[in-house]
Amino acid sequence: MKPPTTREPRWRNHLRAVGLPAANLWQAGLGLLLGLTLASGLLGAEPGNSRSERLRVANLRLEQANRLRADLQGTPEDKRLEKEYLRAVFLYRRVYDLAPFSSIAPDALAAAAEVYHDMAKQFDPKYWRKAIETYEFLRSEYPHSRYQDDALFNIAQLYHVHLKDLDAGLKTYQEFLNTYPRSHYAATARERIKAIEAEQTAAASASAPPPPETTSDDRVEVRNIRYWNAENYTRVVVDLEGEVKYQGARIANPDRIFFDLFHTRLSTVLSGKSFEIEEGLLSRIRIGENRAGVSRVVLEVKNAENYSFFSLPNPFRLVVDIRGPAPTQAARKAAEPPPPVPVAKAKPAAAVEPPKAETATLSVPQPTLTVPQPPSVPKPTADGNHTLSRALGLKVGRIVLDAGHGGHDTGTIGPTGLMEKDLVLDVARRLGRMIEEQLGAEVIYTREDDSFVPLENRIALANEKQADLFISIHANSSRARAVRGVETYFLNFTTDPEALELAARENALSQKSVHELQDLVRSISRNEKVNESRELARAIQHHLHGELRKASRTIQNRGVRQAPFVVLIGGSMPSILTEVAFLSNPQDEKLLKSPEGRQAVAGGLYAGMSKYLVDTNSVAFASEKAPAPPSE
């Protein structure tokens, strides 16, 4: 994958970096964390001694840590692993180690305390004290940072609320009030002091009646907020510990969008917080308790044209999409990346190789790859229309490939054990190499290894990177093993029960939840993107089926369909989801276990995408002569 261009906004998928332990704890855990990280291939090459190089790598580590934590927040709780949190902690610590002189160092330290906060709830109460020690380390290392009052107030809350250490909590609240008497936390600190003193007085008096039993707080906790903020698109995700009712509205002067979350309480990490944002449509996020049992999230926006929202379960989260005005043709052309510098041919990625005995009997013709040569005038769509994209001659220079599932989410598993997550990752790598070598376009992967990426993160990444196409690769399944074939989807409303069943399976939602998404799909799927997505799906379906039919004459063309896939919702570019075969079918599984079969799938996807680019006159970087197809 080519390095990102300078026009790409910084990845900001979570509000505060995640802090780390104080120096003494860090030394004790260095060996374990370093081993975990190196084993996972996270660090890569570490920098030299120059200040600029250390800062560059520190920013990469911060981005890696933010991505990792965002993925953890979207993972079902019973699937989260402690070692993944430790990986995030280690990466945040590397930010501080590499660039303690930078403004991002206190960001990283301030946020590791939040990771420890999450770990204490999820795994072991010992992490409450690690969070405290991290805040204390931050305060001592950066006495003038913007986190000073936040850190001290959070220390007080951790002692009082979570560790039940009333003396330490009282002392820290008092220190906080003496140091920051005008803080927006001051009123809360005074209330907490009164409550602690009353409890201590009652406990000290032998004649006093015992304090009344406290009932458990059954309100749902608002745990975290993360966001992706680009020039003309912002996605905000609010993570909660359970399902809640909510309502939202937009208010002018100043322009802001707010959401009230009913029967909720804010985590100690979020209580009373306000976050300033430097670029994009979103300028500020405020979180607080609007009234008893109601948490309000306020999104202050600038130049926002419209917004939409929906919820996802397991874990429950609220997803908000905010859009700005569409960029003009001049702005799009100015933003196009320069033609790539020729580079040596990349070494093919490792494939998921089947047993030799199973591949020896297969003879799959290799796809013939050609570089598309666009016509001078774009063709109309299959319906005879000229869309705005075709009229403007907008080019395709950046393509996001989404390998479905990953990590704990295996997807479909074939009769002999081939997992969908492994198959589609290999196909995505093969397709990516073809695109880079044949077109010279930039390829971005939503995942490059066996990791889990939440559905809402995938299209958000494509929007943030200002991608021109989004292709999500999957394999199908049926209760009837005889069913086989290829089908391709674009986002739209449907009443087709088969399409809804597939969407429910890919969305990991109940059938009822899929039906509840239909109003959302109507409201956010703009005709321009629906039409272009349909055309892309038609081209890919035709060529993918054609390539696979060379290997198996009985494979069926199941056509182009539409369905409400969460992974496609909110896309700012033509977006499709392709089901390359039925893994539940023994013949399809046998075909896809072979490198030749997977290469045929990748070739069919490439040929279909190329046909679409030719028809739309969208090829940005075609070479004069096509290089040889990627070798196995």
Tell me which amino acid residue 357 is.
A
Of all residues in the chain, the percent with pLDDT exceeding 70 is: 71
Mean pLDDT of 599-623: 81
Q: How confident is the model at residue 339 (pLDDT cuts 50, 70, 90)?
A: very low
Question: Taking 50 as the threshold, does the pLDDT of residue 147 lie above it?
Answer: yes
42-46, 416-420, 617-621: lowest mean pLDDT where?
Answer: 42-46
CB atoms within 10 A of CB 405: 24
Q: What pLDDT, on the 0 to 100 scale, is given for residue 220?
A: 93
Q: How confident is the model at residue 206 (pLDDT cuts 50, 70, 90)?
A: low
Q: Which of 35-44, 276-285, 397-406 has the highest mean pLDDT?
A: 397-406
Q: What pLDDT, on the 0 to 100 scale, is given for residue 290?
A: 83
Residues 230, 233, 234, 237, Cα dihedral to 10°: -120
The 10s digit of each residue's pLDDT in 26-75 is 444 444 444 444 444 445 556 667 899 999 999 999 989 988 988 888 88
Question: Taking 70 as the threshold, does the pLDDT of residue 632 lie above it?
Answer: no
| Residue 409 or residue 27, greater confidence | 409
Edge-to-edge strand order for the sheet containing 486-491?
Answer: 442-445, 398-403, 469-476, 575-582, 486-491, 557-563
Q: What pLDDT, on the 0 to 100 scale, is given for residue 24?
A: 42
Q: Which of 11, 537, 481 is nearest to 226 (CA)?
A: 11
Strands 469-476, 575-582: pairing is: parallel
Looking at every residue in the chain, the average pLDDT score rounds to: 79
Q: What pLDDT, on the 0 to 100 scale, is given for residue 310?
A: 87
pTM above 0.75, yes or no: no
Question: Taking 60 as the threshold, does the pLDDT of residue 468 lie above it?
Answer: yes
The 10s digit of each residue's pLDDT in 96-122 is 999 999 999 999 999 899 999 999 989
Q: What pLDDT, on the 0 to 100 scale, is given for residue 627?
A: 37
Question: Taking 50 as the threshold, does the pLDDT of residue 592 lie above it?
Answer: yes
Q: How confident is the model at residue 377 (pLDDT cuts 50, 70, 90)?
A: low
Secondary structure of residue 580 in the 3-state scheme:
strand
Please tell me the distance from the alpha carbon of residue 130 to that of residue 293, in angstroms, as a whole number.
Answer: 30
Edge-to-edge strand order for the sheet containing 264-266?
Answer: 264-266, 220-229, 233-240, 317-323, 306-312
HSE-up of 238 (CA within 13 Å, CB side)? Answer: 31
- Quick one: tokens of 622? 């075609």
Q: What pLDDT, on the 0 to 100 scale, is given for residue 185?
A: 82
Mean pLDDT of 364-393: 53
Mean pLDDT of 274-286: 86
Mean pLDDT of 440-452: 93
Task: Give, for 399, the enclosing helix (H) or strand (E).
Answer: strand 398-403
Task: Give, for 26, the enclosing helix (H) or strand (E).
Answer: helix 23-39
Question: Taking 60 as the threshold, does the pLDDT of residue 513 lie above it?
Answer: no
Question: Taking 90 as the threshold, does the pLDDT of residue 629 lie above it?
Answer: no
Mean pLDDT of 252-269: 91
Mean pLDDT of 289-294: 86
| Residue 621 or residue 167, greater confidence | 167
Of all residues in the chain, the percent with pLDDT exceeding 90 is: 45
Q: How confident is the model at residue 163 (pLDDT cuts 50, 70, 90)?
A: very high
Residue 123's φ and ψ, nearest 5 degrees, are -125, -55
Question: Taking 70 as the threshold, does the pLDDT of residue 587 lie above it?
Answer: yes
Q: What pLDDT, on the 0 to 100 scale, is given for residue 274?
A: 81
Mean pLDDT of 268-285: 83
Residue 36's φ and ψ, nearest 5 degrees, are -60, -45
Q: From the DSSP assignment, how many helices (H) and strands (E) are in the chain? A: 19, 16
HSE-up of 45 (CA within 13 Å, CB side)? Answer: 5
6-10, 142-146, 623-627: lowest mean pLDDT where?
Answer: 6-10
Give the single-character DSSP code of 143.
T
Q: How confident is the model at residue 445 (pLDDT cuts 50, 70, 90)?
A: very high
Contact 261, 249 (CB under 8 A): no
Contact 476, 412 (CB under 8 A): yes
Q: What pLDDT, on the 0 to 100 scale, is given for residue 382?
A: 58
Q: What pLDDT, on the 0 to 100 scale, is given for residue 256?
A: 95
The 10s digit of each residue's pLDDT in 520-566 is 565 555 555 788 899 999 999 999 999 999 988 889 999 998 877 88
Mean pLDDT of 611-629: 59
Q: What pLDDT, on the 0 to 100 scale, is given for residue 485?
A: 93
Q: 466-499 burial, b if ≥16 CB within 10 A, otherwise e? A: bbbbbbbbbbbbbeeeeebbbbbbbbbebeeeeb
Mean pLDDT of 286-297: 89
Mean pLDDT of 184-199: 88
Q: How confident is the model at residue 510 (pLDDT cuts 50, 70, 90)?
A: very low
- Quick one: tokens of 108? 């990283």
| Residue 603 or residue 382, greater confidence | 603
Please tell me the distance from the alpha carbon of residue 531 to that of residue 391, in angstroms, as a whole number.
Answer: 13
